[in-house]
Amino acid sequence: MSWEYYIEEHTAIEVAVEDLVKDLIERYDLSNKSRVREFTYKRQYLMHVMKSKTNRSLQYIGSMFNRDHATVIHSCNNVESLMDVKDKLFYDLTEPLRDVIDAHSFSDVREDKKRVVQLSSIIPFDTYKKLIKLKDKEHSTISEIIRRGLSMVFTDEETQKKVV
């Protein structure tokens, strides 16, 4: 399997989102069966994040939490409703999760995916993996990281500008 296929199907950004969510599930013990709001709101919020920021199936997202796809659908609908009415309890309970996710700035995953696929023939996969780790570590934007990657490959600044 070529790495271009891997990047096309599961971009490094989506994998990073998934890894972050898995870490939060473990940290807050969200795969338990508890129906206490402290757990349910956090669990539902993370399901919503996975659905909105990745291309993973509902079944896959549900399996991360030991739930089924119908629970994921219900959770996402519930989160959207709670966000629409600005439910104070929901925002208070999910604030630590939102802070961690916002710090990683995983916005426009699908746009980044298009750009990553375009870069697959330019930046070697090992270099790309290092750049994604650097992005997470320094909280840089994907554009900044892409420019750094191109500067590793191209020394000519004019060529870098054309590609980016």
Convert the pLDDT of each residue in 24-76 to its tens digit. Answer: 999 999 999 999 999 999 999 999 999 988 888 999 999 999 999 999 999 99
Domain of residue 158 covers 122-163
The sign one gets for the Cα dihedral 137, 104, 18, 13 is negative
Clarify whether residues 50 and 79 are in a common domain.
yes
Clarify whether residues 98 and 133 are in a common domain.
no
Clarify whether residues 99 and 144 are in a common domain.
no
Clarify whether residues 74 and 135 are in a common domain.
no
Global model pTM greater than 0.75: no
Clarify whether residues 98 and 51 are in a common domain.
yes
The structure tokens listed for 149 are 């990657």
Q: CB neighbours of 144 closer than 8 A, spacing ≥ 6? A: 135
| HSE, side-chain direction, 13 A CA sphere, residue 22 | 9
Clarify whether residues 100 and 129 are in a common domain.
no
Per DSSP, 146 falls in state H
Q: Is residue 22 part of a domain?
A: yes
Residue of 113 and 42 predicted with greater confidence: 42
> Tell me: the pLDDT tens digits for 72-89?
999 999 999 999 999 999
Q: Nearest CA to 42 among 55, 58, 26?
A: 26
